[in-house]
Amino acid sequence: MQKNRKRYFQKEVKTAMYENWEQLKADCMQCRKCSLCETRTNLVFGVGNENAEVMFIGEGPGQNEDLQGEPFVGRGGKLLDKFLEAVDLDRKKNIYIANMVKCRPPQNRDPLPEEQDQCIQWLREQTKLIQPKIIVCLGRISAQRLISKDFKVTQQHGQFIEKGGILFMGTFHPAALLRNPNQKPDALEDFLALREKIKEICTHTY
């Protein structure tokens, strides 16, 4: 699996240029590669432990995230923090959180494929530096981009799928859970399964 992970990163980050977080963050914060830069208040780079074994990847910043420059800080973010706490995860300690696009799409629309295409290089650079063992996709947008293009969250949530030596798991986006609270028990099951998988394959998350 270790060898596969190396191959995955070589393939995924063949244009990677960054050896350290400072330079990556400095360059990313200046990014104007797509039109979302025109309407952003703050670019939302990502947050968490840069040596994490588990990465969470959402869709894109919303209004609160755009204002504060941090991912998942509104009502959805608070809900996410509750799920994380339930399985002893903490964005300040043992995970890293980022999004598919780093600038807010107007009116919280889905990020367009071309915006994702422009932005994904930043995520690849972050992934290369972190080298996570597990990536959790929060919601359809990241799951369809990173796991499979026809991924259906309601049917495939909680399943671990290995790609290039990394285990991917898709689950509900916190904003979707706020709209459909009846899906919260399913989401909790996914987080509990995540905790077991972390115990199985990670060495310093817990």
Sites of contact with ligand SF4 (CB under 6 A): 31-34, 36-37, 43, 101-103, 115, 118-119, 122
Residue 46, by phi and psi: left (phi above 0), alpha (psi -120 to 50) or beta?
left
Closer residue to ligand SF4 (CB): 43 or 135: 43
Least distance to ligand SF4 from the beta carbon of 140, Å? 18
Least distance to ligand SF4 from the beta carbon of 105, Å? 8
Least distance to ligand SF4 from the beta carbon of 59, Å? 12
Q: 67 with 41: CB under 8 angstroms?
A: yes
Closer residue to ligand SF4 (CB): 31 or 130: 31
Question: Beta partners for 163?
Answer: 166
Distance, in Å, from the CA atom of 34 to the CA atom of 182, rounded to the nearest integer, reads 37
Tokens (6 digits) for 15: 């244009």
Least distance to ligand SF4 from the beta carbon of 195, Å? 31
Closer residue to ligand SF4 (CB): 33 or 184: 33
Closer residue to ligand SF4 (CB): 73 or 84: 73
Residue of 27, 13, 4 lying closest to 201 (CA atoms): 4
Q: 57 with 135: CB under 8 angstroms?
A: yes
Least distance to ligand SF4 from the beta carbon of 12, Å? 17
Closer residue to ligand SF4 (CB): 112 or 161: 112
Q: Are strands 166-171 and 134-138 parallel, antiparallel or unpaired?
A: parallel
Backbone angles phi, psi at 185, to 5 degrees: -60, -40
The separation between CA 57 and the C-alpha centre of its own chain, rounded to angstroms, equals 1
